[in-house]
Structure formats: structure tokens, C-alpha cells
């Protein structure tokens, strides 16, 4: 599954599923990949397209039109046969994590609560899961719960970095984290990556702490 980041008029961010062929037209920074294999194919296809473009520039003007037409036909055939977005794609739905990610958008709040509890209680069952792929479907409260668990465990699924889920956290959760960080906990966390998601009071609190902290 591929999700596209949507910035609404009120400044809030949401994520919507996008077909693979449409994702190829988007900037990668606006996309969220639920499956690493799918992301690799995305990168490979873009690299192939760049190479084809370079090759085309080196062709004689007389051959250019024919070569462009051939490349376009092959590219369209490749996309239609290999990269059509659907939940029956072997690389996604035949894997446990792919099936989970496909159904998450359709679960209600109670079901998502159960999923989050299962994720936190038995993280070994979700070793192939990237937290950034599930966060868009969780409520702020559920996201904060996953955040606390990640701080305590150090790793859930494939995720070890707090910054990858920071955009989905509440300001209250980040403020509480900063209080704990100032008190000596979670010193392994790279707080520099979290500043854009904190409110001004939390940032100032951390700034005062860093100013007063003595060098080790």
C-alpha cells in the first residue's frame, strides 16, 4: 500500500491510498510506503526512467521519435502488467503485514485499540511492520500510546526512530517526553528531529535545559 500526504486548508495532514502508477507522478517526500519491496520497485522504476531519458537524449534526431514511442509503449505495458495497484498483489496481500495494512483504514476505534494493544504486548508478531505506515490510521491517543511503548522498548516492528512517528503525536505527549528527557530518561533519543512537532513552550523548556546542562 502507498499513501499520499494531503495538506488540508486548515494545515492538518492526512494520508490517502494512492495507486502505484499515480505515485510515480508524485514527489517521493509526499509518499508513505507500507511495504519495502514496493518502495524498492518504485525507486527502481524511476531510476530506469531516468536512464531511458538519458539514452534518448543521446540518440540522433532522426531516430528520436521512433525511440520515444517504443519506450513509452514498453513503459505503459510494464506499469499495467506489474505495478497496477490492487490488494491482490502478491508482494502485499500474501504477506501478513500487507493484509493488516490493507484492512486498517476500515477498522473502527475499538478495533484499532485492540490492534494497538496487540502490537505493544506482542511486538515480536509484527517484526516486518513499519510504524510510520500505521500511524495515519490511529487516533492521537492511540499514536501517543505507541510512542510511549517505543520509548520503553526501543524498537517495535522495524521502527527504532521516534522521529518517523513524531508528526502523528499530540503536543501533550511530546511535552511529557521532554519532562522525562530533562529528568535523565531517554537520553538516546535524538531530540533535534522532534523540534518541528513541539509547541513553543515545550521547545523553550528544552532550550533552557540544554543551556544549563554541563558538558560531560
**What's the pTM value of the predicted model, to 2 decimals?**
0.56
Q: Residues near 51 by Cβ (< 8 Å), separated by ≥ 6?
A: none
d(CA 83, CA 18): 12
d(CA 136, CA 164): 12
Q: Residues near 67 by Cβ (< 8 Å), separated by ≥ 6?
A: 56, 59
Question: Sign (positive/negative) of CA torsion 146, 151, 156, 161?
Answer: positive
Residue recorded with cell 504486548: 121
Do the Cβ atoms of 119 and 93 come closer than 8 Å?
no
Q: What order of strands is seen across the sheet that includes strand 2-7?
A: 13-17, 2-7, 31-33
Query: Would you write out the chain's pLDDT as a tens digit for each of its 216 residues?
Result: 677 777 766 666 666 778 878 878 887 777 776 666 777 787 777 777 766 666 666 665 566 656 656 656 655 554 443 333 333 433 433 367 788 888 899 999 999 999 999 999 988 888 888 888 899 999 999 999 999 999 999 888 888 888 889 999 999 999 999 999 999 999 888 888 889 999 999 999 999 998 887 765
Q: What is the pLDDT at residue 45? A: 79
d(CA 180, CA 183): 5
Q: What is the pLDDT at residue 17? A: 78
Amino acid at each position: 500500500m502507498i499513501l499520499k500526504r494531503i495538506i488540508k486548508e486548515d494545515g492538518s495532514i492526512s494520508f490517502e491510498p494512492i495507486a502505484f502508477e499515480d505515485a510515480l507522478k508524485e514527489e517521493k517526500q509526499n509518499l508513505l510506503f507500507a511495504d519495502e519491496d514496493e518502495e524498492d520497485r518504485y525507486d527502481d522504476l524511476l531510476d530506469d526512467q531516468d536512464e531511458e531519458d538519458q539514452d534518448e537524449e543521446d540518440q540522433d534526431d532522426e531516430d528520436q521519435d521512433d525511440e520515444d514511442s517504443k519506450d513509452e509503449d514498453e513503459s505503459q505495458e510494464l506499469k499495467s502488467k506489474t505495478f497496477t495497484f490492487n490488494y491482490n498483489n502478491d508482494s502485499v496481500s500474501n504477506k501478513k503485514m500487507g493484509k493488516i495494512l490493507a484492512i486498517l483504514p476500515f477498522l473502527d476505534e475499538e478495533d484499532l485499540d485492540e490492534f494497538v494493544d496487540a502490537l505493544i504486548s506482542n511486538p515480536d508478531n509484527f517484526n516486518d511492520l513499519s510504524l510510520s505506515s500505521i500511524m495515519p490510521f490511529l487516533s492521537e491517543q492511540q499514536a501517543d500510546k505507541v510512542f510511549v511503548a517505543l520509548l520503553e522498548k526501543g524498537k517495535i516492528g522495524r521502527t527504532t526512530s521516534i522521529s518517523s512517528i513524531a508528526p502523528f503525536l499530540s503536543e501533550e505527549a511530546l511535552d511529557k517526553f521532554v519532562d522525562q528527557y530533562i529528568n535523565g530518561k531517554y537520553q538516546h533519543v535524538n531530540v533535534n528531529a522532534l523540534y518541528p512537532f513541539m509547541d513553543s513552550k515545550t521547545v523553550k523548556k528544552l532550550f533552557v535545559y540544554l543551556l544549563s546542562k554541563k558538558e560531560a
